[in-house]
Structure 1
Amino acid sequence: MSSRGHVLCVGSEGWQPSRDALADAVGDAEIRTATTAAEALELVSAWPADCVVAASRLPAGDGGGLALLERVRAVEPDLPFVLHPAEGSERLASEAIGAGVTDYVAGTDGTERLGEAVMAAIDGSDGESARIADLVRTIQQRLVRARTTEEIDRGVCEAIVDTEPYAFAWIGEYDAADGRVVPRASAGFESGYLEAIEIRPDDSSLGQGPTGRAVRTRTLEAVQDIPSEPTYEPWRADAMERTYRSSAAVPLVREETLYGVLNVYADRTDAFDESENALLCDLGKTVAHAFHRVRIQDRYEAQYRELFEEAPVMVALTEDTADGPVIDDCNRRFAAKLGWSREALRGRPLADVYSEASVARLLDHDGYERALAGEFATAERTLLTRGNERLETLLQATPRRNTHGDVVGTHALYVDMTEQKRAREVIDQAEAMEASMDGMAILEPSGEYVYANQAHADIYGYDDPAVFLGNTWRMNYDDAEVDRFESEVFPAVAGGDEWRGEATGVRADGSPFPQELSLSPLADGRYICVVRDATERRRYERRLERQRDNLEILNQVVRHDIRNDLQVVLGYVESLRTFVGEDRTAHVERAVESARDAVEITETAGDVAEVMLTADAETKPVGLGCVLDEQVSEVRSTYEDTVLTTDGTIPDVDVRADNMLGSVFRNLLTNAVEHNDGAIRKVTVAAAADADTATVRVADNGPGIPDDRKDAIFEEGEKGLDSGGTGLGLYLAETLVDRYGGDIRVGDNDPNGAVFTVELPVVD
């Protein structure tokens, strides 16, 4: 290969594209190397670089390869840029394409592939890569919004045909029963093409085209010259009539499941080179993932629908309108009990099936408003059948939300009590009570137990429900709750009203727990008590609240335009170094530091987003030593003016965590350094483990943390003393540790400073 240009390789001391190996791949092109972003930018400005090859990781403070891309493009907008990570990933590839790299070549793809990408960039193929990158971004945006497989099919095909040189695109699926590939969506110039052709993924001539081969091999298959390709004979005439000259078939595969095959046609030959095919393969994986997501969503919705339809109680979904609640839908039992068809009930005012007294409770006594607010207590309601017969029911109503989280109506569950006028007759059915997951009991007017089921005993931590008999309900509460019940709750129940609310119970071992409780008066003066442990619900609600709060934070902080503008600002400010006098150098460096800090904020916010959006991700055994050693080394190299030491040996144990564990220690170590005002900043890391728990301590000699802020610093948006950050780091650490089932706390160091302690469960 002849001399064709100047190549700048940028990477840290620990990893760079091999100069000798790359030289073999690009001929005698001149190659220079840089180890920092500043050095690379200086060469870009002073040396006629034709292409930049950058690692994904650069020395701490440089922001990585994609950050370098922004700074290079600020001074050389058209300079080709190839991102070359040591180990690639779908996520990094997607980010790189979205950022506008000329090409993306993982280290595992080999030096020859890198050389081809570099020479293609030098030869001017960056326009092609940009075109494909724009296509990928467009399709990804449509996939995010898609809620059905039809929307995915249509969005992908339409986006493709809007991109040169594609003339036609369609998605088909393999029908095993019929042995054919059947089209299900298309876009572009087709003119009956799909009706004219037949494709079978077998050994016949109808299976030798790109589509049939892609279905069989699960790999991309392309035909670069339709007019001369022998295997395209069965479809050549129809394709030529419609100006198709080359074709590629991309299997949509995820976890060995084939979701279809994407077929793309161009109006010129040789349209699918190696680089374009690689990107189309990545696109196929992305589309397949979207199909998988929709399939899981459909499965959950089908399960919900089955539960809704087969529920052993009457269920109605209401909609809140300006004219009052209407029946949006109902299950078969609800319609059958009232003697109407479901179609006749949909859109009908809920008041139409209520008795006059129940309508008053629904509308005049704010029953529906309380249900919308989540404050409704189980109450009796009388429904009217089509034959005007009265149906006595017990109603429980909860808010119903749309996909945006807005309350749009209620879920209303009705238990037919026509044959059981009072709850006592239901409670007497011992089998139903014993099978209940809720704790159920009957209390005398004095508060003494006369009955309790096994679930009631389990909730309070007792083996046998007989322990309650002869005792009063007071045994399950502390003095403050007893006073509240005696002064507020029982007087209301004694007056004939049902009470439903929350309380704090006390288990047999003395530990408190949140509970949902209802008390219903019986005709003979006794009470029905139903209790449910609300611990998991509280934890789930707190997690959802944290997710929503963090997504709002990220929506304010991590915006594409802001991030891009910061990169431009950083590039321009750094370029000022050569234009200002020594008396202004400190100002420029302060501006550079502030801009870099702002860019780093987006990285922490990205970690927060990943945690929040994968709140239900499964944990796994993770080696504590490897993760902690890696983070200590990275922080030590970043803050060379800090004395960062390890006290003793880090135990070689596995803890219950996930791939985000490193973020916990990175944020704690960075926090210990950046908020340290000591003359010589010192940070010490110590770790120990027993059979059950691994403990990691991060101690510093900084100003410490006041007692009144030790809990608050883990809340989102809380900043440390004199902090310039967002307050996300410690909140992220606490969120992750909580996910792992561990604990994190802060105390005082001796003689000064703070000590953060993390406890994680050890995996046997």
Structure 2
Amino acid sequence: MSNRGQVLCVEGKAQSGMATALAAAADFEVRSASTVAAALERLSERSADCVVSGADLPDGDGFDLFDAVRTVDPDVPVVLHPAAGSEALAAEAVRSGVTDYVPGDAGSDRLAARVTAAVEGSRTAGLNRGPAQVVDLVRSVQSKLVRARTPDAVDRGVCEALVGADPYVFAWIGDHDEASGKVVPRASAGIEIGYLDDIAVRADDGELAEGPTGQAVRTHELQVVQSIPSEPGYEPWRGDATERRYRSSAAIPLVHEGTLYGVLNVYADRTGAFDPAETALLGDLGDNIAQALHRVRLRERYEAQYRDLFEEAPVMIVLTDDSPTGPVVKDCNRRFAAKIGWTREELQGRPVADLYTDAAATKLLEEGGYERALAGEFVTAERTLRTRTGEVLETLLQATPRRNAEGEIVGTHALYVDMTERKRARQVIDQAEAMEASMDGMAILDGDEYVYANRAHADIYGYDSPEALVGSSWRINYDDAGIEQFESSVLPSVEAGAEWRGEATGVRADGSRFPQELSLSPLSDGRYICVVRDITERHRYEERLERQRDNLEILNQVVRHDIRNDLQVVLGYAESIRRFVEDERLDHVEQVVRNARDAVEITETAGDVAEVMLTADTETAPVGIRRPLIDQIEESRAAYADAVVTTEGSIPDATVRADDMLGSVFRNLLTNAIEHNDAAVCEVTVAARRTDDRITVRIADNGPGIPDERKEAIFEEGEAGLDGGTGLGLYLVETLVDRYGGDIRVEDNHPTGAVFAVEFPIVE
């Protein structure tokens, strides 16, 4: 076994290659696993000095793995290394008790350093700080960072957490004042006794800038002094430091994305306290502290911006708190207070319903307005407020849920717009909605004239730019008949407030005409929106479909009548000359009879398929299933005298939703069962069984059967039959069964053959 140290790396879903990178960055023997189960199996085969895990595993997450590993080895260090970290995940890691947490963007070198620290910390437990103490320190600092809401809370929390852990006795955080060059303390904790009052630290130049703090500010790198009593560069502060039992120190720059957020100084009561593991720990803590400071300062900036927006917003804003009797005013902006006539202090804590008229208060409390706002389902609605002097103020209200820092809904945000401003806002909104809704040409008309047209509208009518239409009458785009239609029947209804949609014939700038789909929507100010779409291609497509339908009907007539009738004549003559032919010539006649009969069947099936295509839009209706099934059984017996077609039990009656093509389903299934049968005696059995809501018809034969790999394909269009047939009949069957809302499947018959089972839903 290697003496380099054993690390088990459990790679997450998005962390392929994590083990390879870790092995390259550190002197470890690295094994890998990809699941919780595989990791436990590896540990049962050989113990590890450290386990490194991603956060997202196929059979769990990093915390599931941590719990499982602890049951196998309570002392092995576990480092959580998610692909994408977050404050919430870091906080959960702290709470769960993992040995260390390394964000995914930290890099393999940082991960290697933290794993090395975890391994060395485990091996040297009791020499410096036990693993549990390291965990406690990290957890304490992370907890302070997660909870902090201000920079001061971050500073104080970090300093207090550090001096609560051995061997640190003092910690302080300072700001670099670029103007003066000084490093100015802003927070501290521990054994200080006036230390920060007695010393001076700089970061620009001179003797006071050569200590660890000044160098950390300039280089943005962690600086360590392992022996304050003997370090030459510590001379300006040595006396004050040793008097307070400071024996070693570290200066950690708090840097995030290149920005210095301060410098953290920690002091230990013994020399040599900052070994590589301790240095790596402090470096990572420095990164986390800088990120936390960045976060809270960003939040303070956003909150200040929000406050400015809140105060200076051109609408009235009220923040409410939830209470058992309804919403109460928590705060409001100056505009709301001025409009309603109360001071902000007088409004705070006042029930919102007291500021409404009786009708508006009913909508708020009794008709669910407030509940909808809390649920995020409130839509813009009119609400009437009552001012301090009793005047009525008509407003437009929009309300949304208001949450606290923990994400809990504690009240609402309510925005009120004075109705005198509504008309102007509504016009803007209407125009924006028209622009949004327009898929093709969009225009706004004031009376007869264009006041706006988009590019698509100009293109449809053949103009180079929308400006060519603005100021012109809409009449330039229509002939006399179109103008008369709009003036007599369309515009009067639009002017009365109704919306009109329909088709018309437009006239382009070059005089050509084209069919169009048009909508006219009135606006509140008397103008109206015109949306137009060129439907020339759609008309051509519809005409082409109509021609194809006519051609199909002609072809259907030819196939079902002319060709089928001629084939019936051929079949009749062939059957009549059987008795006059002997020897091998009789086989030729029989072949003619078989082929003619097949051709007749094909024309019948092709005609049915054409009929189905022509009636694709025909609605189905309730149809009894017993009569069509019995008719087709009898016709099969007459057409195929050599086949034995029997029924199993009686055929129950049931009503299904179908049409007059229902019999074609059974005819094609019976024909398929007989004609594709190679048994000495063809036997076909028909059975039907009814349940409460379905009826199933089963047609079984003793033929060659259908291989499993063909059972689905035989119903597809153009799929040839097993003996080379067209397969058209089974395609027709599947098409009709699907139209009727049924289902068809193929099963094996025993000892040989196939069973076609057709199910239909029963209707009243």
TM band (smaller chain): 0.3 to 0.5
Greater relative contact order (Cα < 8 A, sep 6+): 1
Name which one, 1 or 2, has greater alpha-carbon Rg.
Answer: 2
TM-score by length of 2: 0.47
TM-score by length of 1: 0.47
